[in-house]
Chains A and B, each alone.
Chain A
Amino acid sequence: MNPKTTAATATRDAALWTLRCDRGLSASEQDELSQWLAGDPRHRDAFGEHRRGWDELDRLAGLQTSVQAVPDPDLLAPARNRRLRRFVPIALGLAAAVVLGLGFLRSRAVPDSGPATAAAALALIERRTLSDGSVLELNRGAVVTGRFTAQERRVALERGEAHFKVAHDAARPFMVEAGGVTVRAVGTAFTVQLDPTRVRVLVTEGKVRVDDSAKGQSLLGAAVDGEPPVLSAGQSAVVTLAPTAVSHIGKISATEIATQLAWQPRLLDFTDAPLAEIVGAFNRGNPVRLVLADAALGEMRLSATFRSDNVEGFVHLMESDFGLHAERTGDRQIVLRRAVRP
């Protein structure tokens, strides 16, 4: 037999057996596998390599789950298709409801150069300014949908945690619905966290009402002097679900609030900014120092939004999309230069 063919067959079979083992072997398959392994020492090696490779891919488990509420088979489609596809649902969604929770990255005057930009995909931004000027920040995994009318601003937290900084508009109350609990604000800032069993509300500014969505009644207790009870800045409430009831109302210190909100990404948001400025902003907040190899490079302009702590993602993006070459000189310095074109 042609040895080359045998090797190809061995890897093909090894891959198949790996997949079969993963889903569980029947008794007869178990026998068949034993025979196949015993048949040739190369089979055992190939099998071992493919099983390790299959396990190795588990490192990617949960990659970017915050972007997609439902599994997206095309999550890793080559960049060109992916980018296009990603913007379409946003555009459609704007017509009826604001659909939030997607990372975005805008690049201008940049050739859409070939290979996939996984780094860009990892550089998630989860902050949105809504049409009324309210700002929401989504924690990893959060999914929020919204519907604004002339009378009210309604947002549903489908899952996860989000912080809302509400633009003041007395005529249009801002309501966040999460797991059958409605948090109602006029102009304030608060965080809502939805777990399978409870909703947590943390008020950082102003006041909110916390109501049972179905009954429309306050969950915080009876009205005082005809005024519904409210949760004020520095207070948090935990509402257990099924049955919906407040289990805990507490006061928390400014330090605790800061800790609770520590997940909120610090964002660097640039529109048509020179690269020198962007690099400067990164360097102010990070131990790693970015250096531009030549001054002309600093004049390159781009629009992008990044987490300030995501230097690696930024460097990757510069390499994959902007044709730069990154060289690590020492463990705290990265030099960016134009890649030499062959």
Chain B
Amino acid sequence: MPPPDPELALWFAQEVQPHEAALRGWMAARFPAVRDVDDLVQEAYSRLIRTRRTGSIACARAFLFVTARNLALNHLRHQQHERPAGVAEIDPSIVADERPGVPESLARAEDLQVLVRAIEALPERCRQVVTLRKIYGLSQKETAERLGITEPTVEAQGAIGLRKCIEYFRRQGYRLNL
């Protein structure tokens, strides 16, 4: 599904497509119950492209894995009408982009700075929760284990963090494009 814009198409070919095999392999291993992997991969691509059109992405591979994971979980919830437990973890080592190439963040990180600063400005606990959940793609459960706090606390701190980030975006005039 190459995007029409040539610059975007080149980026897609170089930064995104090389990860497809790894993504599919990981999806198959982690979500054997998901039948429509093709659909989910396409959907993850669309979201990635939409997001890239409206600003920078720190790491295409990580974004792709996190998005596909979230889509798969949603999909399973609908399939099973309940919350699947304990399948949300993403191994950070698989998300790390280990391919050759200059990370995009080095070239176009300017607009990411608002997001970074929003997180930096959070109170410590909120900041840790948001960092683990959003930058490392950890699930709520994994974040709780990692910080030695309960899941409801992670949820509450995450919500406070999110609310403060939104306030920060408003003060900075940062537009939410998605």
- Give A residues with C-beta under 8 Å from B: 11-12, 14-16, 18-20, 22-27, 49-50, 52-66, 69-78, 115-116, 118-119, 122-124, 139-142, 159-161, 195-196, 260, 262-263, 265, 307, 309-310, 312-313, 316
Chain B positions within 8 Å of A24 at CB level = 73, 77, 83-84
Tell whether A54 pairs with B106 under 8 Å between CB atoms, given A61-B58, A65-B96, A260-B100. Answer: no
On chain A, the residues within 8 Å of B105 by CB distance are 63-64, 122
Cα A61 to Cα B51 in complex, Å, equals 12
B residues within 8 A CB of A18?
159, 162
In the complex, chain A residues whose CB is within 8 Å of the CB of B116: 60, 63, 76, 116, 118
Q: How many B residues have CB within 8 A of the partner chain?
A: 74
Structural contact, B97 and A140, CB atoms closer than 8 A: yes
A57, A61, A115, A142: the one contacting B59 at CB < 8 Å is A61
Which of A73, A78, A139, A263 interacts with B131 by CB under 8 Å? A73
Which chain A residue shows the least CB distance to B164? Answer: A15
* In contact, B176 and A52 (Cβ under 8 angstroms): yes
Q: Closest CB-CB distance, A166 to chain B, in whole Å?
A: 21
- 19 A-B contact pairs sorted by A residue (CB < 8 Å): A11-B166, A53-B176, A55-B178, A56-B176, A58-B67, A59-B58, A61-B134, A62-B58, A62-B95, A63-B59, A63-B105, A64-B135, A65-B62, A71-B146, A75-B135, A77-B120, A116-B116, A309-B102, A316-B109
Q: Given A54-B162, A140-B97, check contact A19 B176 (CB 8 Å).
A: no
Q: Is there contact, CB below 8 Å, between A160 and B98?
A: yes
Q: Is the CB of B109 within 8 A of A313?
A: yes
Asked if B135 and A15 make an inter-chain contact with CB atoms under 8 angstroms apart, the answer reads no
Which of A19, A115, A159, A262 is the most central at the interface, judged by chain B CB atoms within 10 Å of its CB? A19
Is there contact, CB below 8 Å, between A141 and B98? yes
Please give the distance in Å from A185's CB to the nearest CB on chain B. 21
Is A73 in contact with B146, judged by CB distance below 8 angstroms? yes
Choose the segment among B4-12, B34-42, B137-145 that binds chain A (4+ C-beta atoms closer than 8 Å).
B137-145
Q: Report B48 CB to chain A, min CB distance, Å.
A: 10
Contact A27 B81 (CB under 8 A): yes
The interface of chain B, by Cβ under 8 A from chain A, is: 51, 55-59, 61-63, 65-67, 70, 73, 77, 81-84, 88, 92-103, 105-110, 112-113, 115-117, 119-120, 124, 127-132, 134-140, 146-147, 155-156, 158-160, 162-163, 165-166, 169, 176-178
Q: Which residues of A contact B177 (CB under 8 A)?
A: 56
Q: CB < 8 Å: which of A11, A23, A27 contacts B140?
A: A23
Q: B residues within 8 A CB of A115?
A: 117
Complex CA distance for A69 and B63, rounded to whole angstroms: 18
> How far apart are the CA atoms of A36 and B169 in the complex, in Å?
25
Contacts of B165 in A (CB 8 A): 53, 57
Are B59 and A71 in contact (CB-based, < 8 A)?
Answer: no
CB contact between B159 and one of A15, A140, A309 (< 8 Å): that residue: A15
Instruction: Tell whether, in the assembled complex, residue A159 and residue B96 are in contact, meaning their CB atoms are under 8 Å apart.
Output: yes
CB distance A77 to B97 under 8 Å? no
Q: Which residues of B contact A312 (CB under 8 A)?
A: 106-110
The answer to whether B96 and A62 touch across the interface, beta carbons within 8 angstroms, is yes
A164 to chain B, nearest CB (A): 16
- Give the distance in Å from the alpha carbon of A119 to the alpha carbon of B70 in the complex: 29
B178 close to A76 (CB less than 8 A):
no
Q: Is the CB of B98 within 8 A of A15?
A: no
A residues in contact with B93, CB < 8 Å? 69, 159
Contacts of B158 in A (CB 8 A): 19
